[in-house]
Structure 1
Amino acid sequence: MGVRDVSVARQGEPKHRLVAIGDSLTQGFQSAAIFNTALSYPAIVAYELGCAEQFRHPRYDGVGGLPFNIEPFLRDLEARYGRAVDVWEAPFAVFRALSLMDRVEDYWERGPGLTVPPTTAVMHNLAVFGWDLRDALSKSADECRSRIDRPKDDPIIQIVQNAAERAALRVLPTKPPAAGALTQLGAAAELGKDTDGTGGEYGIETLVVFLGANNALRAVTELKVVWSEDPGFDSLDHKGRFTVWRPEHFVAELRQVAAAVTEIKARHVIWCTVPHVTIAPIARGVAGKTRPGSLYYPYYTRPWISDRNFDPGRDPGITGAQAQEVDGAIDEYNDAITGVVREARNQGRDWYLLETCGLLDRLASRRYAEDPSARPDWWQPYPLPPALQALTPPPNSHFLACDGGRRTDGGLFSLDGVHPTTVGYGIVAQELINVMRLAEVEFLRPDGHTPRQDPVLVDFDRLIRNDTLINRPPGNLDSSLRVLGWADEATDLFRRVFTSF
């Protein structure tokens, strides 16, 4: 980036080896739910650091996670109705689907999930799904609690109300009483102060900041482009009207976040760029690219709507021009994030940039890998780790598809078409480890004492064993994604889930 080297004070041993601030991508969200937090990318890195036992993260046990896990839902349908729902079975299947959604809603709004385990410790993974820059700046446990509405057992809209706020109460500190006012950034600052008398000035060794995706993601999850306005973009009460932040509004929020991060006592800080949200398979390009070499399709719609059946007057979608504008805004977001890191390094701080945007671009199947004429000069395919390359077929960025319980396509994205699978999170973890080694962070063997030699590699065999979408995908998820299309049409599943953030 054209910045000078920095000299890092390495006296003492920071008590907290890894702390992460972020949204769903950092929390470990999968298949429209948070449930597998022990396999988020920060938890994977902590495992490779040799400090998995000390890495604190929230848990969301019970009924598959929060707000609604699509994977057990599909498995339940498969067990009852096989690989397809016949016409005569459809009314019974709809009733079963709504009953399952109602059971999940009751668990979190009125049942055991309503009780938040008390803790005085601050989590090391401080991410909360659905959060953007303003949430990181302003939301605390007290604020979240005040925003949880009295639940209504609605027979129509059967999804957990205020799901993100409920999730946050398991992330942000609530005790002692004063801790309830701490935001994500404030909680990290408390960990930074925890030097534990070792003689060093840093309580945190490596701090990861991965925010900003939710300043544009709703453009594809809701298939609606509504640009931010002033006033309103920086207000917790009004920002929900917008699905994409204008770059100048993003930069205004980013400056405040960067100022807060500057005050956190972390030896190394790694900022992640914002991925191009239009690459996620939840929004599938249809009708053929406008011209050879173009990056964009005329329209983007749900992945189960075929080119032949797509009707722009009837089906949800955004235009290729809108997709290009959203990507252009994200490019400006990332220029600003890069500028923040450059400025900090010029001031002597040991800050780094993880190019998660470029990482996803290099994994983009439809945009680049399958269209050589669209590839820019810098583009090279991302080399999958050997354990993933050995899978049949190797994972890619298409929507997951199966044949008889065997994966035939996809594998990097989970069943919501937005968030990674476990092996997908492993790729992010590997890239983060590479940056941490650049910062000379020491990785230890599981005994917590023996240094590891370079290269430090993620144990992808372990991740594959724990990734049910890779090793045992739902048998009713064929290449046409008919069962997901049916579920969405019958229950309005995806809109309910993503608007619950």
Structure 2
Amino acid sequence: MSIKLFTIGDSVAQGFMSGAAARTDLSFSTLLARKLNLTDYQYPIWEAGGLPLNMEDVLRALNKRYGSNISGLEWLTFLPTVNKVIDTSEEYYERGPGRANLPYPGKVNYFHNVAARGFDVTDSWKVTPEVAWNNIQNAVPQKGDDQFLAVADASLYRTALKVLSPALTRTATGAFKQNFSQLDWLKYHSQKEGVENVCLWLGGNNALGTIVDLQIRQTPGDKSPITKTHNEKVANRWNLWHPTDFAVEYEEMLQRVHTIMSNQSEQTDWKVFLGNVPLVTIAPLAKGVGPTTHIPGKGTYYKYYTYVPFDEDFAVKTGRHLNLQQVLHIDDCIREYNIIINRLVTQFNQLAGGKPRYFVVDIASALENMAWKRNDAQPTYEFPEYFKFVYPKVDTKYYHADKEGQLKQGGIFSLDGVHPSAIGQGLVATEFIKVMRAAGLNQLTPFTDQEWSQIFKSDTLYSRPISLMGEIYEHTDLAEFLVKAIRFLHR
């Protein structure tokens, strides 16, 4: 029997939330699998809070110990409390049951969701278990200030290794028996059983680093990045792809996917659903400060964009910001990415003989329409009916709860300000359902009120708000912890 759903992607498809790859069970593709009644849909479970650093676990530990306010001498015990939580994950994934040289429990040979945090377009075929393993072995131990947050080293590769090779099976010579990239796994399943529906969502990490780093390091625009190995690419530290480079890489990925999918049995009626690239500058991690400017056709922008706990004075004094011109450039690049994706979908549908095989899920427009600040507090997105009278309301602002534990704003993004919360994942799933249903998957009906109620309950940031959030804005120590945690998003 053919596989009904296979997922390829990055951190969002993996269920990365609040700084850790921890909740694949709440990711949009898992919600889709449940809708399709796929009881055999396999995905990884991330114990001990996940990798690299679960900010929700840290803040809940602080909340439990200090309540809604850390005062006076209690700040002397703040760092030990933080590190105690972090040490649990570091111990589990470096030396404990989750360490790199131990197979995933339960004799699992593969997952139906092979999404991995930090992956960009070319990683879908360039990162293999061998690449991940070698990077783990060659990782440089953390030194100096990084030891403040002693997360497991090479955590990105530890995550990738578990996803791509849960069994860790090796040949007699020590090589990985199935040294499969994401696309290799797609080929394996297409040849073995056939794959009917693929959710493929990559491209966000070709721009996301700009708001994590608050810097732009753009590729040269000469089509050369695709010729680099994964490690050579990483060494260049690019965080924004020139549209020319993006086009070459995305077309190569689709060509590989098309070759794999079109070589299946004629009885397999296959489809590929492509999430496009959201405007990363909308993510609440990047807080707009200073005077605003309305750009016709693009929305409202700010003079500076800095990390969410801080203000304009911090942005100017420290230099940790992107200016208006830089943010417009990032957004223009991403808009061009999505034009490229649309063009390539048309091209590959023609190559498929005119029968639609490729479908764009326009997450970019959905998120842009949801954006609170970009739309001057008047988002135009049509939320599901359940959202109309739910209280507290949710929006795209950075998460905040008061000292009484009442949600005051946010709810769509998790604590890292980049990745969707469980509720946000439900909205992503909604956008996929719209397109997949129109493509003929009638079993994928919109979420009922009861299903939305379950999604809201599963979102612990919403159902059990963290009353300590105000401390992030009032105390430098906690704000700096947030910024340091953000630095690990791409490690």
Same fold (TM over 0.5): yes
CA distance in 2, matches of 1:492, 1:310: 13
Deviation at 1:485, TM superposition (A): 5.5
- Matched with 1:225 is 216
- Matched with 1:249 is 245
- Matched with 1:146 is 134
- Matched with 2:278 is 275
Tell me if 1:85 matches 2:76. Answer: no
Judged with a 3 Å threshold, the aligned counterparts in structure 2 of structure 1 residues 152 and 59 are, in CA distance, closer, same or farther, namely same
Tell me if 1:306 matches 2:311. Answer: yes
The one of 427, 435, 459 equivalent to 1:467 is 459
TM-score, normalised by the number of residues in structure 1: 0.86
CA distance in 1, matches of 2:475, 2:346: 44
CA distance in 2, matches of 1:481, 1:156: 18
Tell whether the 8 Å contact from 2:225 to 2:245 is kept in structure 1 after alignment: no
- Matched with 1:211 is 202
- Matched with 2:191 is 193
- Matched with 2:232 is 238
State the AA in 2 paired with 1:246: H
Local SS of the residue matching 2:197: strand
Local SS of the residue matching 2:78: helix
CA distance in 2, matches of 1:353, 1:457: 24
Local SS of the residue matching 1:353: strand
Tell whether the 8 Å contact from 1:94 to 1:490 is kept in structure 2 after alignment: no
Deviation at 1:140, TM superposition (A): 0.8
Deviation at 1:124, TM superposition (A): 0.9
Deviation at 1:264, TM superposition (A): 2.5
- Matched with 1:262 is 258
TM-score, normalised by the number of residues in structure 2: 0.88
- Matched with 2:122 is 134
Tell me if 1:58 matches 2:44. Answer: yes
- Matched with 2:264 is none
- Matched with 1:31 is 18
Local SS of the residue matching 1:437: helix
CA distance in 2, matches of 1:460, 1:181: 39
Tell whether the 8 Å contact from 1:299 to 1:320 is kept in structure 2 after alignment: yes
State the AA in 2 paired with 1:33: A
- Matched with 2:320 is 316
The percentage of counterpart residues that share the same residue type is 29
Tell whether the 8 Å contact from 2:21 to 2:51 is kept in structure 1 after alignment: yes
CA distance in 2, matches of 1:409, 1:495: 20
Greater helix content: 2
Tell me if 1:113 matches 2:120. Answer: no
- Matched with 2:334 is 330
Structure 2: tracts of 5 or more residues without a match = 262-268
Residues 23-50 of structure 1: CA deviation (Å, up to 9, x unaligned): 0011110000011111110000011111
CA distance in 2, matches of 1:170, 1:400: 30
Residues 277-320 of structure 1: CA deviation (Å, up to 9, x unaligned): 0000000110021358663211100111134x434131511111
- Matched with 1:362 is 369
- Matched with 2:380 is 381
RMSD over equivalenced CA pairs, Å: 2.3
Deviation at 1:66, TM superposition (A): 1.2
Residues 353-381 of structure 1: CA deviation (Å, up to 9, x unaligned): 1001001001000001526xxxxxxxx71
CA distance in 2, matches of 1:44, 1:428: 10
Judged with a 3 Å threshold, the aligned counterparts in structure 2 of structure 1 residues 315 and 153 are, in CA distance, closer, same or farther, namely closer
Local SS of the residue matching 1:204: coil
Tell whether the 8 Å contact from 1:34 to 1:65 is kept in structure 2 after alignment: yes
- Matched with 2:4 is 17
The one of 473, 476, 483 equivalent to 2:468 is 476
Tell whether the 8 Å contact from 1:477 to 1:484 is kept in structure 2 after alignment: no
